[in-house]
Chains A and B, each alone.
Chain A
Amino acid sequence: MNIYILAFALITGFISHSVNATLIDDFTDGSMHLVADTFDIYQSSSSAFGGGRTVSITKQGYNAKADIIAPRGFYAHSSNVRSSASSTISWSSSVAVDLTENLNNNTFTLDIYSNDLKNSDFILSVSDNAKNKASYTLFKAGEGIQNIMFSSFTGIDFQQINDISLQIVGGLEADLVISSLSTTTSSISAVPTPTALILFSSSLVILSLSRRKQ
């Protein structure tokens, strides 16, 4: 019996990170290459929300571009010297999608892989089936996982989402890379955090050892 408890605890600890995550785009298919100023190039992508994405870029200064390097799985926003750019990735679905996955998810997760000057703002916008639209701005975000709670958007039905867009308002000479955008469950929800799960698993192991001694 103790072996079963131990196995359950360890498996719970290992798989809990991926539970309930919904991928919007991980840029692993549908390579794109845009040089500013270019608009509305749709590229189908089996892994992206709605089956494809549209990217646009505008610049001030000399040159800028936006790339999706599918073999590497990232989106790159690049601006040359004395240049700044604003690029937008948008996803659209003809049928409304439940981003909460039966009320399990409550957070967007933006994975910023690299960001050289950290002088860019990220504006995430969503619109639902009733045409309600709201945005949230992540100012001067750095590298790493950036969480944006659904509650940061007002009046949106996250169980019926049709459109998502991410606008990157890049600072001067900003070069940055995004790995993915997804939804997940935040740490303040009913789902345990990884730390809590480790503690929980540890207590089960201790309980198991304690019962064995008795």
Chain B
Amino acid sequence: MNKYILVFSLLAMITSNIAHAAMIDDFTEESMNIRVDYPPLSGSDTASTITNTSAFGGGRTISISKSGPLSASANVIAPPGIYAHSADALTSATSTISWHSDIGIDLIEGRTTTNFALDILSIDQGNIDFILSVTDVFNNTDSYSLLEAGTGIQFIALSLFSSTIDFLQVTDISLRIVGGEASDLTLNSISTVPTPSVLVLLSMGLVAFRLNRRISV
């Protein structure tokens, strides 16, 4: 019996990062490409586009604006499944990915999900801010800024948002990337996941329980 508990606890720890994860977007569908050039082809320094995918709400919209003399671009490259934000020398850009659902979506999945997970593959210079915004079915909205984030998975706890947000009925999510001059970055995915520390504690508790039983016997 104890072996089963141990195996269960280890499996829980290993697989818990993906268990209950709700994928908002992993960029594996529908390549997109927008850029603002020098000189601006449309006479504007902004561009946007929308497409249908299996992402949150069934589609995504991306937009970009830039300041500076050269170009900036936002791309969804599927495959391999990345979002790329690129600004040339002497030029900075802000790009936004937004997802909309006509009906409220439960992001916390029976209260097991407690974090957004933003998987950042690469940042060349480190002068990037990420602003994550959510809106619920009652039009309550709030944002959280991740300043000067590095690469890797960045967890943003749902508790960092206003308590008025009903995460059981979310209709809009947007991620704004405020890039510095000549910044280039790639994202792998954005999803919601359980808190890793809680899962580790749970697993450790099960292991301790098992050892305790062995000592008692």
Are B182 and A62 neighbours in the complex by a CB distance under 8 Å? no
Q: Which residue of B lies closest to A80 (CB)?
A: B86
- What's the minimum C-beta distance from B122 to chain A, rounded to whole angstroms? 7
The answer to the question of B98 belonging to the interface, with a C-beta cut-off of 8 Å to chain A, is: no
With beta carbons under 8 angstroms apart, the residue of B71, B77, B82, B122 that contacts A78 is B71
Q: How far is the CA of A177 from the CA of B186 in the complex (A)?
A: 23
Are A76 and B88 neighbours in the complex by a CB distance under 8 Å? yes
Mark out the residues of chain B between 53 and 110 whose CB falls within 8 Å of any chain A CB in the assembled complex.
Answer: 69-71, 73, 75, 77, 82, 84-90
Mark out the residues of chain B between 186 and 201 whose CB falls within 8 Å of any chain A CB in the assembled complex.
Answer: 186
Mark out the residues of chain B between 179 and 216 whose CB falls within 8 Å of any chain A CB in the assembled complex.
Answer: 181-182, 184-186
Q: How far is the CA of A67 from the CA of B184 in the complex (A)?
A: 18
Are B184 and A81 neighbours in the complex by a CB distance under 8 Å? yes
Q: How far is the CA of A167 from the CA of B134 in the complex (A)?
A: 47
Q: How far is the CA of A114 from the CA of B90 in the complex (A)?
A: 8
**Set of chain B residues within 8 Å of A63, measured between Cβ atoms:** 73, 86
Are B89 and A177 neighbours in the complex by a CB distance under 8 Å? yes
Are B73 and A80 neighbours in the complex by a CB distance under 8 Å? yes
Q: How far is the CA of A115 from the CA of B125 in the complex (A)?
A: 11
Given contacts A116-B89, A117-B124, contact A175 B84 (CB under 8 A): no
**Set of chain B residues within 8 Å of A67, measured between Cβ atoms:** 38, 70-71, 88
B127-143 toward A: CB 8 Å interface, digit per residue (1/0)?
Answer: 00000000000000000
Q: How far is the CA of A189 from the CA of B17 in the complex (A)?
A: 66
Are B71 and A117 neighbours in the complex by a CB distance under 8 Å? no
Are A173 and B184 neighbours in the complex by a CB distance under 8 Å? yes
Given contacts A176-B89, A177-B89, contact A80 B70 (CB under 8 A): no
What size tier do the contact residues of chain B reach?
Answer: 20 to 34
Are B84 and A80 neighbours in the complex by a CB distance under 8 Å? yes
A-B contacts, CB under 8 A, total: 69
User: Number of residues in A with C-beta < 8 Å to the partner?
Assistant: 23
- What's the minimum C-beta distance from B19 to chain A, rounded to whole angstroms? 31
Q: How far is the CA of A106 from the CA of B116 in the complex (A)?
A: 60
- What's the minimum C-beta distance from A118 to chain B, rounded to whole angstroms? 11
Q: How far is the CA of A48 from the CA of B125 in the complex (A)?
A: 33
Given contacts A78-B88, A81-B122, A117-B125, contact A175 B184 (CB under 8 A): yes
Q: How far is the CA of A63 from the CA of B84 in the complex (A)?
A: 11
**Set of chain A residues within 8 Å of B85, measured between Cβ atoms:** 81
- What's the minimum C-beta distance from A161 to chain B, rounded to whole angstroms? 29
The answer to the question of A65 belonging to the interface, with a C-beta cut-off of 8 Å to chain B, is: yes
The answer to the question of A131 belonging to the interface, with a C-beta cut-off of 8 Å to chain B, is: no
- What's the minimum C-beta distance from A133 to chain B, rounded to whole angstroms? 30
Given contacts A62-B75, A62-B77, A173-B124, contact A78 B89 (CB under 8 A): yes
Q: How far is the CA of A41 from the CA of B122 in the complex (A)?
A: 33
The answer to the question of A205 belonging to the interface, with a C-beta cut-off of 8 Å to chain B, is: no
Mark out the residues of chain B between 34 and 57 whose CB falls within 8 Å of any chain A CB in the assembled complex.
Answer: 37-38
A72-88 toward B: CB 8 Å interface, digit per residue (1/0)?
Answer: 10001110111000000
Mark out the residues of chain A between 26 and 85 whose CB falls within 8 Å of any chain B CB in the assembled complex.
Answer: 33, 62-63, 65, 67, 69, 72, 76-78, 80-82
Q: How far is the CA of A44 from the CA of B150 in the complex (A)?
A: 44
For the complex of A and B, the 3 pairs showing the least CB-CB separation, nearest first, are A78-B88, A116-B182, A175-B89
| Contacts A69-B69, A81-B85 supplied; 6 other A-B pairs, CB < 8 Å | A62-B84, A78-B70, A80-B75, A117-B125, A172-B124, A173-B184
13 contacts between A and B (CB under 8 A): A67-B71, A69-B38, A76-B89, A77-B89, A78-B70, A78-B88, A81-B86, A81-B184, A81-B185, A82-B122, A114-B182, A116-B124, A116-B125
